[in-house]
Structure formats: structure tokens, C-alpha cells
Amino acid sequence: MNGGLLVAGTTSDAGKSVVTAGICRWLVRQGVKVAPFKAQNMSLNSFVTREGAEIGRAQAMQAQACRIEPTAQMNPVLLKPGGEQSSQVVLLGRPVGEMSARGYHGGRQQGLLGTVLDCLAELRGTYDAVICEGAGSPAEINLRRTDIVNMGIARGARLPVLVVGDIDRGGVFASFFGTVALLSPEDQELVAGFLVNKFRGDVGLLEPGLDMLRDLTGRPAYGVLPFRHGLGIDEEDGLRVSLRGTVRESAVAPPVGEDVLRVAVCAIPLMSNFTDVDALAAEPGVVVRFVDRPEELADADLVVVPGTRGTVRALAWLRERGLADALRARAAEGRPTLGICGGFQILGEHIEDEVESRAGEVPGLGLLPVRVRFAREKTLTRPTGEALGEPVEGYEIHHGVATVGGGEPFLDGCRVGPTWGTHWHGSLESDGFRRAFLREVAAAAGRRFVPAPDTSFAALREEQLDRLGDLIEQHADTDALWRLIESGAPQGLPFIPPGAPA
């Protein structure tokens, strides 16, 4: 078997990442050697592979669904927004420069098609099947000429395409039909059918519409996935984070101790790797929320200043909002704060940045004895160590080089009283360390909170991925899906006018 499939979507956030992970987990449970692939990802949530390459976190989690180690080939192009107009381009795990959207789509992107096709061919030569994820919509006709992630990769590798639509948003039938009808005849030949995501209610009420859609397009629905709370994998787009309720809903047990622990995460601009707090949200009795006003810190037992692609910009935002003063007041009162990566840099005394913002010398909040200088070379590592008497693993993604001038050692950073700072992402996924850290936070906050003794974040992730695999196995036409992956798009699929404009 040397199969493949491209999971496209009618819109961004239609469920492509989740469906891709679900198909991967379903296949691996059938004994198939499978790998994920996304030619181009735009995300501020990234991960470092064991060989020191930076890729999107969604692809890292999809690799976990496949029960394999992630590699740079699974996400050869990563775009990390630095604002509305430009992004850092990461190629095969390494940054190669900043580029405007116009400059990238004006020529650079199309030049990368050969690279992404080579990566896909390498994966297909190693694995029985490769499940590819598209980006946005394949019917973005203004970008089709330079597309390397949707129909461009499908055409280049002759991949069948499954279009996912989020029915919870409404308009899914029009979206399915319109997506196909705006593609060229050559692209339409590869669109095999549809998958409905997030359906609530009686599927029998939907079936007449699916029959009509098949009559109109000549293409079937490969399944209807029901709406499920708490499903998802690590989010991609840090620019679209909701300031409230970003942490996914899940069935969490009641607190072990008498009190809950309230965690406020500062929703700073260009927030990156906000998935760091998922491990906190998984703890029974820990309540996590994202905030953007100083008064929202008043009842927080712990404040987290997360990573960011714009440290100096985020620092200015904290000052403009009054959050900087609130953080200083917390430190003076001995109330806990944790800075991670860019958040760690913000808590320091001084920042020298001629790379990211080119703002030169900027004073930090002065809560930690740390001076930061931005280097052109990006640090990409997977460190291991010990803190609070427990083993810790993490990963680092940053240009800022920190010089620590005091305090107590804390991972690669430092601690002054109940103010902690580190460049390590993912450290809170280490269960023993997380429990020890929360005990310290509870003591400093005066809360009778007790961490659950048996919460395993890795086990919760596995459970989540199995639930996604179950969703595909129970609600998709897996026989038809298997044929599609193995044999490609059916021959003789009809053309739906008008097709792509000339």
C-alpha cells in the first residue's frame, strides 16, 4: 500500500486538523504505517522535533496520533506571523527570513512547490499511507496560482481530496457545492467527496440534503461526525485566539483539596504556544482563563505571561493596558507569576532587540534579574533537567538570549520568591514537576488546593487521540475511506460549472 489523502476544508477551522488526526489514529489501529503531512502551516503554536527542527504543533500531535516521532518533512513550510503584514518563513525546520504576504504569494511560495513535493514523496516512500492536511479553503481563487498546500499539492502528487465542512456554522451544503464549483476541471477531478463535521441532532434529518448534494455534484458524503465537547488538538492560529474560554471544554474531576486554583493567562499580542497552559487546565480544580484587563488579575492565584512572537510589542501592550502595573503589584505582594519564553523576557530588567522588533534597548518589567539580547540565530532545542525536585522535559523556540544575574535557578531561567521565568515550553506537561509547581503556587496564594496524585497529561492526550479515532471509525464510511486512500479519486467525476475563473 502506498496510499494518500488530502483533507481540505470549506473554511479555516472547519476541522481539518482534527479529522486528519482522527484518520491517522484510525489507520494506525488497523496496523497501517501512517504519517501526517501539511505542506504549509501558518501558526504561532510550534514544536521542536528531536533533530531540532521547528514545525507546527498540530503536525506534532498528528504524528503522535500515528505513534511516530514528528520530523521536519511533515511540515516543510511554517509561517509565523509577526503582525498583519509579515511572517517569519521557517523552511524544513529553520527560519530563512521575514517576508510580507505580497512578497511570499508573489513568487516565493510557488518556488517551494518542489521542496514540499519532495518531502511528501519521501514520506510516501517510507510509510504505507500519508494523510495530508490542507489550509484554509482550496477554493481561494485569488491564491490558486501559487498554491502549494491545497490543490497544488493534490495535483502535484495526484492525491484524492476529502472536503470537510463545519455544519455547526451553518451553510454547509452551499459551502460544499461552492467549493467544488470554483475549482478548475483538473482540480475537480481529484475532489472525491465530503465529510460533515460537528453535526447536532438526528442524522436522518440531514440525509435528504446529502442525497441532493450527491445528485448535484456526483460526489458522496464519506460520513457525518457528531458534535463532541472537548475534542481537538493543539490550535494553530494564535492570532485568532478568543480572549475568553480558549481552553477546550473537558470533563474534569472535582478538586482534591478544599479550594480551586485560579490561573489568569495574559492574552498578549502575537501569543505563541498558549498550549503551554493546557496541562494546567487538565488538572482537577485548576480554572484557566485568558484575560486582557488588570482587574481580571485580582482574584488570580497564578498569572501566566505566555510566549509571543513580538516580545517588545507585547510589553508595550501590557503597559498600555495597565497590566504591567498589576504584575508589579503582584510581585510586591508576593503573589505568584510565571513567565514562559517571551513572557520570561518581559519579566526581566532589560531587552536589547535589533532582530524581532528592531526597537533597540527597551526596559523590561524588572521583576527578575535577567537581561535579554536578541540573536539572529534561533534557539531550537529539546532540553531536559530537574526543578523542584522533579524531572522536567521541554522545548525552546526563541531568538532572545537571557543572561541571568541572580535569583534561584529555575530550569534555564530563575525565580525570585513566587515569580518564576523560563524559556522552556511544555515543562508543565511533566506530571511530577507540574504537581510540585502547583503546590508551591497554592502555598504562596494561601489556597487549600491539592494537586490530583494521578493526573497523567500524556495519558489524557492519548485518550483524546483515541476519541478522534473512534469518531472516524464509528461515524465515517471507513470502507469507502480506505478505498479512497488506497486507490485515489474515482474516475469520471463530473465537472460542476462554472469552474475557476480564467
Cα 46 to Cα 367: distance, rounded to the nearest angstrom: 27
Catalytic residue among 399, 423, 425, 475: 425
3-state secondary structure of 387: strand
Q: What is the DSSP string of 161-207?
A: EEEEEEGGGS-HHHHHHHHHHTS-HHHHTTEEEEEEEEE-S-GGGTH
425 is catalytic: yes
H helix runs in 6-67, sequence order: 16-29, 57-65
Evaluate if residue 110 carries a pLDDT over 70. Answer: no
User: What confidence score (pLDDT) does residue 239 get?
Assistant: 34
- Cα 384 off chain centre by: 23
Cα 50 to Cα 384: distance, rounded to the nearest angstrom: 12
- C-alpha cell at position 315: 510589553
- C-alpha cell at position 83: 503582525
User: What confidence score (pLDDT) does residue 323 get?
Assistant: 97
399 neighbors 354 (Cβ within 8 angstroms): no
pLDDT, tens digit, 9 for 90 and up, residues 131-161: 999 999 999 999 898 899 999 999 999 999 9
Cα 341 to Cα 413: distance, rounded to the nearest angstrom: 10
Cα 56 to Cα 74: distance, rounded to the nearest angstrom: 9
- C-alpha cell at position 300: 488570580
State the average pLDDT over residues 208-233: 90
In this prediction, residue 406 has a pLDDT band, given cuts at 50, 70 and 90, of very high
| Cross-sheet strand order for the sheet of 286-291 | 286-291, 261-266, 302-305, 337-340, 419-422, 413-416, 408-410
312 neighbors 362 (Cβ within 8 angstroms): yes
Evaluate if residue 90 carries a pLDDT over 90. Answer: yes
- pTM above 0.85? yes
212 neighbors 221 (Cβ within 8 angstroms): no
Amino acid at site 64: Q
Bridge-based pairing of strands 370-381 and 86-91 is unpaired
Check residue 476 and report its DSSP letter: B
User: What confidence score (pLDDT) does residue 251 get?
Assistant: 52
Cα 368 to Cα 351: distance, rounded to the nearest angstrom: 12
Evaluate if residue 233 carries a pLDDT over 60. Answer: yes
Sign of the Cα torsion 12, 13, 16, 21 reads positive
State the average pLDDT over residues 33-55: 95
H helix runs in 305-355, sequence order: 311-321, 323-332, 342-347
End-to-end CA distance of the chain: 37
266 is catalytic: no
State the average pLDDT over residues 411-440: 97
Cα 335 to Cα 331: distance, rounded to the nearest angstrom: 6
Catalytic residue among 119, 341, 399, 423: 341
Residues of the chain with pLDDT > 90, as a percent, come to 83
pLDDT, tens digit, 9 for 90 and up, residues 471-483: 999 999 999 999 9
Evaluate if residue 47 carries a pLDDT over 70. Answer: yes
Mean pLDDT rounded to a whole number for the chain: 92
Helix H or strand E segment including 481: helix 478-487
Kindly calculate the radius of gyration of the chain based on its CA atoms and give it in whole angstroms.
Answer: 23
